[in-house]
């Protein structure tokens, strides 16, 4: 995947920052405003995807190599499991064991913001991994019919 023209690159460089900031907002405020871990994670993946479309596949892969992406993916999944299992410290699986706090505050609702953050990391990085798999690894071709070099 080659990059695009100078105009696209400049716009993408500016806009990606805001997209990733917006995804962080959607994830962190998931228990107060509409949103949550899943849409925030997808928006994060879309921001990285914009970088990949504008600059070619090398830049995002340099920032976030495959190994680190899979580590982050597993970290998100394990974090969510850990929150679920930590409920046992107070009683049972998935118990909301942290203090609830006041409604309408950022730090409220116990484990929900933490779960949202872990789900956001997991979804974003794993969708990035899907894009990587589709664009970097060559597709499944029957033997003998090797594809032409990647554009």
Site residues, other proteins (CB under 8 A):
26, 30-36, 38-39, 42-43, 45-46, 49, 53, 70, 73, 77, 80-81, 84, 94, 96, 100-104, 108-112, 115-116, 119, 122-123, 126-127, 129-131, 133-135, 137-140, 151
Q: What is the DSSP string of 24-50?
A: HHHHHTTTTSS--HHHHHHHHHHHHHH
> Residue 109 Cβ, how far from other proteins at the closest point, in Å?
4
> Residue 143 Cβ, how far from other proteins at the closest point, in Å?
12
For the CA atoms of 59, 65, 66, 67, what is the dihedral angle to 10 degrees?
A: 180
> Residue 12 Cβ, how far from other proteins at the closest point, in Å?
14
Encoding tokens for residue 130?
A: 């899907």
DSSP E strands in the chain: the ranges are: none
Residue among 62 and 139 whose Cβ is closer to other proteins: 139
> Residue 103 Cβ, how far from other proteins at the closest point, in Å?
5
Closest CA to 61 of 146, 147, 10, 133: 133
């Amino acid at each position: 995947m080659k990059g695009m023209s100078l105009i696209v690159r400049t716009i993408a460089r500016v806009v990606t920052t805001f997209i990733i900031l917006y995804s962080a907002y959607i994830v962190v405020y998931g228990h107060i405003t509409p949103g949550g871990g899943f849409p925030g994670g997808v928006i994060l993946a879309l921001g990285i995807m914009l970088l990949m479309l504008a600059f070619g596949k090398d830049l995002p892969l340099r920032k976030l190599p495959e190994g680190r992406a899979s580590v982050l993916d597993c970290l998100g999944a394990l974090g969510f499991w850990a929150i679920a299992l930590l409920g046992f410290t107070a009683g049972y699986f998935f118990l909301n064991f942290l203090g609830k706090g006041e409604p309408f505050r950022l730090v409220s609702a116990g484990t929900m913001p933490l779960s949202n953050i872990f789900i956001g990391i997991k979804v974003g990085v794993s969708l990035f991994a899907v894009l990587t798999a589709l664009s970097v690894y060559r597709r499944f071709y029957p033997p003998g019919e090797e594809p032409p070099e990647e554009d």
